[in-house]
Amino acid sequence: MNSYYNILRHIIFLTLSIFASFGTLASDQTVKNENEEVHANITQATKFYNNYQFDSAVIYYDLALIQARQQNDPVMISHLLCLKGRALSNAGQQYDLAYKLYLQARDQAIELKNDSLCAIADIGIAHIYEDRGLLDSAEYHLNHALLDYKKLLDTIGIGKAKQNLSSLYVIKVDYEKSLKYALESNRIFKQFGQRRQQAKSLINLGNIYHYLKEYDSALSCYEESYALSMELNDLRIASSANSNKGVIYYHYKEYEKAKEAFLKSIQFSEKINDVESLTSLYRSTSIILKWLGDYEGALELSERSLAFARKIDNKELESGALLNLGVLHKQNDNFDQAEKYYLDGISVAEAYHLLWDMQIGYENITLLYVAKDDYKTAYQYQQKYLDVTDSIHNHEQISAREKYKAEYELLHYRDQNRIKEFEKKKMLFQRNLSFGIGLAVIVLLLLILLFLRMQIRKNRIIAQQKIQKLEDEKKLMAAQSVMVGQEKERERIARELHDGIGVLLSTASIHFSSVEEKSDAATSEMLQKANKLLKDASKEVRQISHNMMPSVLSKFGLEEAIEDLCEDVEEAGDMTVDLHLSLEEERLPENMEIMIYRIIQEMLNNAIKHAQASKVNLSLIKRDKEILIAFKDDGVGFDESSLPHGKNLGLSGIRSRIEYMGGRIELQSQPGKGTSYSIAIPVRTKTD
């Protein structure tokens, strides 16, 4: 497992260094300058940079800078400062000088109000901050660059900024944001034919899938990136893609495929003389060969890794290579050589405070001294191992330290005086027994405290639920009172209209008819008109009375009332209703029939007035003590969230009535696609 994480750690380091080497500077943009020498030097520097010969690129950028300063061209100077800073950050990791150049370029770009150069400098500064572990500062500058590119409507620049943000969020372990930006940048590069950038973005995307444990997706991204890199003849990207493939195959325990992928990566890196990448690749391949049983090959590659690490003066890689050689020699039972490499690796790690390598080194050399029966030295390194683990993991293994301390004390004492072995075992047993009893008591107390805490929390939740239930019941009773009062008032008004005003109008009409027969022609004509108005008023009063409380509902029940309502709608000529009713002969409770009638009346009213529908499908079915209502119109539809305040009173009334009856509603509507309701209302009997 440690070997797997070693491979993963060094491949991540390799991948991030590759992305940092590319940056996102617009080196492919043509710099318009009348001086042919400046242009020629920039072209030559760009060739060296694209071939990863960064030191040579710096020389030609310096020549171009001298000429640009002689011409007093501030835009060209700022651009060249960024290009030189990018090359320096890759040539021997001269980050301090690169950082100063980026800041100088950014200040000049701000004075020139050149957003493009500001964005380029911000991305370069972000890489420096990222290398120094100042991730929040790096995020700030990358977001600033993204805003500048958006202001310029520079789509490729936007893609590059998002690509860098994706890489940053990988380091910040925010894989959700990282995946979002990686997918967006990859889409941009693919859409605009930026194949080199697409190949790099695919590797980053694959790494994110790897961290999310979606290994098949990661492998697919690496394969696609490799294919693109071979078309472009970009061996560095090809090397990175293959090394990442090797890690996936290692995870799957397909060691032969992992070996093949790493060897390809080594082949490409050797061609471009990428010493830093080769240092990590030799070590990773060595681990694969170890698993395949090729110890000679593994030793050879580990020694190469060590030589290259010392050549580039990378202490972390040097320490890792030394520790890996120690592991290989120990597995070949060459304990003396293993001890030498372990101690050398630990010495480098301690000198440069490499906590991870210190932990691995202490752990491995402890096991080595145990194998050599040197328990005293093993105990000393075990102490160091526990100390460095505490500093990494916030003292999570204090109990483990005490355990190993007791074991090593026992082994040391037994070697000096075997006569007292039985007595020591007895003491150890008693100590463990006491520890077990004490631990059991502590665990029991913790369980009791946990139970009491859970009980208190449960009681609090129950109390809150009771309060909420009382509030809900209070709201329900208030809604019930309002709705019942409304229906009673409707019934009273309807009765007074029908029995009072309606009768008076009818009587007046009869009197007018009598007077009409005894009047002359002119008066008779006026009486006829007045009589017609009285009859129209009487008809309107009856219609209002019927709408407020249809008599057919109280006399014949819900089914007849709905049929009558739908016929009235169709007679108006604006809309057709496809009605399907399946209710039992037994009447529903009066309040429930009125509520359901009002719901259907409101839905039809909405379909006519607001939806402008020409057809409605309506079904009302009683099934398993539930009334199921399905309603669909072909109207204009709507977005409920966008309705202005106060314009959805009809829908609120529908919901209120359904909630009052304990039902549920599902509403689906989209502009231009009509509206549909699915409603289920439980039927409660008097005994419920």
Poorest-pLDDT segment among 58-72, 160-174, 404-418, 561-575? 404-418
Confidence (pLDDT) at 489: 62
| pLDDT per position as a tens digit, 333-349 | 888 888 888 888 888 88
**Separation in Å, CA 161 to CA 52, 63, 482, 489, 540:** 22, 29, 59, 67, 71
In this model, does residue 3 exceed pLDDT 50? no
Q: Give the CB-side neighbour count of residue 615, counting CA atoms within 13 A.
A: 4
Confidence (pLDDT) at 22: 40
User: Does residue 387 contact residue 413 with C-beta atoms inside 8 Å?
Assistant: no
Mean pLDDT confidence for 662-672: 88
What single string gives the DSSP state of each residue in 54-108? HHHHHHHHHHHHHHHHHTT-HHHHHHHHHHHHHHHHHSS--HHHHHHHHHHHHHH
Looking at residue 614, the DSSP 8-state letter turns out to be S
In this model, does residue 17 exceed pLDDT 50? no
From CA 504, how far away is CA 593, in angstroms rounded? 31
| Number of C-beta neighbours around residue 455 at 10 A | 10
Rg (CA), the chain: 42
What single string gives the DSSP state of each residue in 213-226? T-HHHHHHHHHHHH
**Separation in Å, CA 143 to CA 140, 186, 269, 484, 672:** 5, 18, 33, 59, 39
In this model, does residue 25 exceed pLDDT 60? no
Confidence (pLDDT) at 540: 64
**Separation in Å, CA 636 to CA 601, 615, 656:** 19, 12, 24
Pairing of strands 615-622, 576-582: parallel
From CA 270, how far away is CA 187, in angstroms rounded? 32
| pLDDT per position as a tens digit, 365-374 | 888 888 888 8
Confidence (pLDDT) at 187: 92
Long-range contacts from 380-383, C-beta under 8 angstroms, 24+ separation: 382/408
In this model, does residue 679 exceed pLDDT 90? yes
Confidence (pLDDT) at 290: 84
Instruction: Give which of 89, 87, 124 is closest to 105, Cα–Cα.
Output: 124
Instruction: Give which of 638, 644, 578 is closest to 609, Cα–Cα.
Output: 638
In this model, does residue 409 exceed pLDDT 70? no
Which amino acid is residue 609, in one-letter code?
Answer: K
Residue 423: pLDDT band with limits 50, 70, 90: low
What single string gives the DSSP state of each residue in 236-251? HHHHHHHHHHHHHHHH
21, with CB counted inside 10 A (0-12, 13-18, 19+), is buried
Name, in order, each residue with C-beta under 8 angstroms of 455's C-beta and a sequence gap of 6 or more: none
Residue 659: pLDDT band with limits 50, 70, 90: confident
Mean pLDDT confidence for 181-191: 91
φ and ψ at 665, to 5 degrees? -135, 140
From CA 361, how far away is CA 319, in angstroms rounded? 9
| pLDDT per position as a tens digit, 283-334 | 888 888 888 888 888 888 888 888 888 887 888 888 888 888 888 888 888 8
Q: How far apart are the first and last CA of the chain?
A: 64
User: Does residue 141 contact residue 123 with C-beta atoms inside 8 Å?
Assistant: yes
| pLDDT per position as a tens digit, 476-503 | 565 555 555 655 666 556 555 555 565 5
Looking at residue 499, the DSSP 8-state letter turns out to be I
pLDDT higher for 687 or 95?
Answer: 95
Confidence (pLDDT) at 661: 83
Which amino acid is residue 502, in one-letter code?
Answer: G
φ and ψ at 663, to 5 degrees? -95, -170
What single string gives the DSSP state of each residue in 165-186? HHHHHHHTT-HHHHHHHHHHHH
Token pair of 4, please?
């797997």
For residues 295-322, one letter each, b for 16 or more C-beta atoms within 10 angstroms of the residue's C-beta and e for the rest, the string is: eebbbebbbbbbebbbeeebbbbbbbbb
pTM listed for this prediction? 0.49
Confidence (pLDDT) at 545: 53
Long-range contacts from 681-688, C-beta under 8 angstroms, 24+ separation: 681/592, 681/596, 681/626, 681/627, 681/629, 682/625, 682/626, 682/627, 683/588, 683/592, 683/622, 683/625, 683/626, 683/627, 684/589, 684/592, 686/589
From CA 361, how far away is CA 494, in angstroms rounded? 94
φ and ψ at 132, to 5 degrees? -85, 0
From CA 48, how far away is CA 67, in angstroms rounded? 19
| pLDDT per position as a tens digit, 215-273 | 899 999 999 999 998 998 988 888 989 999 988 988 888 989 988 998 998 888 888 88
| pLDDT per position as a tens digit, 27-81 | 333 334 446 778 888 888 888 877 767 788 888 888 888 888 888 888 888 888 8
| pLDDT per position as a tens digit, 575-630 | 898 988 888 777 788 778 888 888 888 888 888 888 888 899 999 988 878 889 99
Mean pLDDT confidence for 164-187: 90
Instruction: Give which of 326, 276, 247 is closest to 90, Cα–Cα.
Output: 276
Average pLDDT in the chain: 78
3 state SS of 611: coil
Token pair of 338, please?
């293993």
Poorest-pLDDT segment among 382-386, 556-560, 667-671? 556-560
From CA 231, how far away is CA 229, in angstroms rounded? 5
Confidence (pLDDT) at 398: 43
User: Does residue 259 contact residue 292 with C-beta atoms inside 8 Å?
Assistant: yes
User: Does residue 39 contact residue 81 with C-beta atoms inside 8 Å?
Assistant: no
In this model, does residue 397 exceed pLDDT 50? no
What's the per-residue H, E or C state across 546-597? HHHCCHHHHHHCHHHHHHHHHHHHHHCCCCEEEEEEECCCCCCCHHHHHHHH
Query: What percent of the chain is predicted at pLDDT more than 90?
Result: 9
In this model, does residue 508 exceed pLDDT 80? no
**Separation in Å, CA 438 to CA 104, 433, 445:** 65, 8, 11
φ and ψ at 616, to 5 degrees? -130, 135
Confidence (pLDDT) at 632: 92
Question: Is residue 681 within a helix (H) or strand (E), and if so which, with residue range?
Answer: strand 675-682
Number of residues in the chain = 688
φ and ψ at 110, to 5 degrees? -65, -40
| pLDDT per position as a tens digit, 91-134 | 755 778 888 888 888 888 888 889 898 999 899 898 888 888 88
Instruction: Give which of 283, 289, 293 is closest to 323, Cα–Cα.
Output: 283
pLDDT higher for 398 or 154?
Answer: 154
Mean pLDDT confidence for 502-527: 62
In this model, does residue 655 exceed pLDDT 80? yes
